[in-house]
Chain A
């Protein structure tokens, strides 16, 4: 097979230096096609048009200097190997560039034909190897995620069966139990529930790793959600004699977040707080506005536990992190809860962090975005820097015909909403999040950036599809 010549993009503004590189390449008898450009802007345009085998890069160009030069080249063409042509005085910078991903550097004035030919060949080979390794790593990660997902699903089925039969025995449906036997079964049930929680965490972490964790944000009252989380976990706190307090700023507007996911985050943090707080300690859940950011709400879970050593703080949100000082009773999970919680918050566009002093407790904090109609509408009602000519507000109302149907009514509404979502143009229309309900009637609103004629067609299509759900 005929060997294809390497295509080198030489980014060099000094014609003398550029000619010298060409000369060295001729001397080395390498099969190389050289395209020389004097400015970074020209180089970036070339990289847009064609991918070279290698970039030979001078760090100081008329339109870019130093580290910024190789950063921009590597950002534009992350898979193309780069060899830096440095001067005597910027060798340290060239070395730094190598640490940041540049393949090699050559000092101008000391370049021999052999050195240049070898640097090009090695750089291309190494980059190829790195790419192959990266592909293999991604495949292995994908395989691991699939394996974990499959195993978790398979484990859940027999576990559900065990759970059902243990509950059946505890409820006395299989005959009376002796007091000792009941205690044993309660221990079994507790362990089954722990295993369930671990499998759920494993599945969630796998979803987070593969970018499949999904959220469905809507308008929520964060105060109500905190009360819900606290009510769910209060028995655990009472059992351990840990005080559980709530402090919510009543002026917080509606928050734009997935209620189930946010509840999951809150429960995880409160449960952790209780777990690591000794009896007679306290856990406080707070929510307030962020002074520096009027678009977000600030939530925190503060405890009076033993705190986290400073050296452990950076690892707290990492997968499988376990407190090394935790006694066995506190090690009831896989160390995935905080990792999942942070992923959920990040998906909402918020951030999560922790502050702690050993012996003085810990405060886990996170932010969530406030609901803003303007922020939601802006992408669909504007075009080329101005408002669209025609904006229509569509109301879709679903009313149940019979009270007896209300059990499955929520699912019917959900299916209608899904059908409606398939009838809209994603860049021009928006199904607004639910802002509340008025009894059993489900009301959905769509903002459509179009004329009434298309709204008519769109709504006829969605009504036809929705009819199937209602029939």
Chain B
């Protein structure tokens, strides 16, 4: 059986708001949304993926 690709799964906690958060629920949701958007954009555009060399290494 020959593999066609590599699957990599990583996970991180989204920081929880403090217990006595004075913000409304809507503001808290926007806070989470901004955080997620920022992380995604960093992940997508920083080239955080395997290089061809690493691919070759994984293939063996």
A interface, CB within 8 angstroms of B: 372-374, 376-378, 381-382, 385-387, 389-402, 405, 408-409, 412, 416, 432, 435-439, 441, 443, 445, 447-448, 452, 455-456, 459, 462-463, 466-467, 470-471
Contacts and interface: CB of A to CB of B under 8 A. Distances in A.
A323 to B, nearest CB: 46
Contacts of A439: 49
B3 A385 contact: no
Contact of A387 (B25, B40, B41): B25
Nearest to A389: B16
A389 B1 CA distance: 43
Interface centre among B8, B13, B28, B36 (most CB of A within 10 A): B36
Contacts of B39: 393
A310 B29 CA distance: 46
B31 to A, nearest CB: 9
Interface of B: 1-14, 16-17, 25-26, 28-30, 32-34, 36-37, 39-41, 43-45, 47, 49-50, 55, 58-59
A398 B36 CA distance: 20
Contact of B40 (A397, A445, A448): A445
Nearest to A388: B16
A399 B8 CA distance: 8
A443 B43 contact: yes
B36 A382 contact: no
A432 B59 CA distance: 29
B45 A438 contact: yes
Most buried by A among B11, B41, B43: B11
B29 A374 contact: yes
Contact of A435 (B34, B40, B59): B40
A198 B45 CA distance: 43
Given A395-B9, A399-B50, 5 more contacts: A374-B29, A395-B10, A452-B13, A455-B11, A463-B9
A392 B11 contact: yes
Contacts of B9: 394-397, 459, 462-463
Contacts of A381: 29, 32
Given A382-B25, A438-B45, A397 B12 contact: no
11 contacts: A373-B34, A381-B32, A390-B16, A391-B14, A391-B32, A400-B5, A416-B7, A435-B41, A437-B44, A441-B50, A456-B11
A374, A376, A402, A456: which has the most chain B beta carbons within 10 Å? A374
B25 A447 contact: no
Contact of A385 (B10, B25, B34): B25
Given A392-B14, A395-B43, A405 B36 contact: no
Contacts of B11: 392-395, 448, 452, 455-456, 459
A412 B5 contact: yes
Nearest to A467: B7
Nearest to A466: B7
B26 to A, nearest CB: 8
Contact of B6 (A398, A459, A462): A398
A144 B50 CA distance: 53
B4 A405 contact: yes
A395 B12 CA distance: 9
A387 B5 contact: no
Given A395-B10, A438-B45, A452-B13, A382 B29 contact: yes
B24 to A, nearest CB: 11
A377 B41 contact: no
A307 to B, nearest CB: 44
A373 B41 contact: no
Given A377-B36, A399-B49, A387 B4 contact: no
A119 to B, nearest CB: 52
A128 to B, nearest CB: 48
Contacts of A389: 16
B18 to A, nearest CB: 11
A438 B7 contact: no
A87 to B, nearest CB: 48
Contact of A405 (B5, B33, B40): B5
Given A396-B9, A441-B50, A401 B55 contact: yes
Nearest to A371: B37
Given A377-B33, A435-B44, A392 B13 contact: yes
A393 B39 CA distance: 9
Contact of A397 (B8, B14, B25, B33): B8
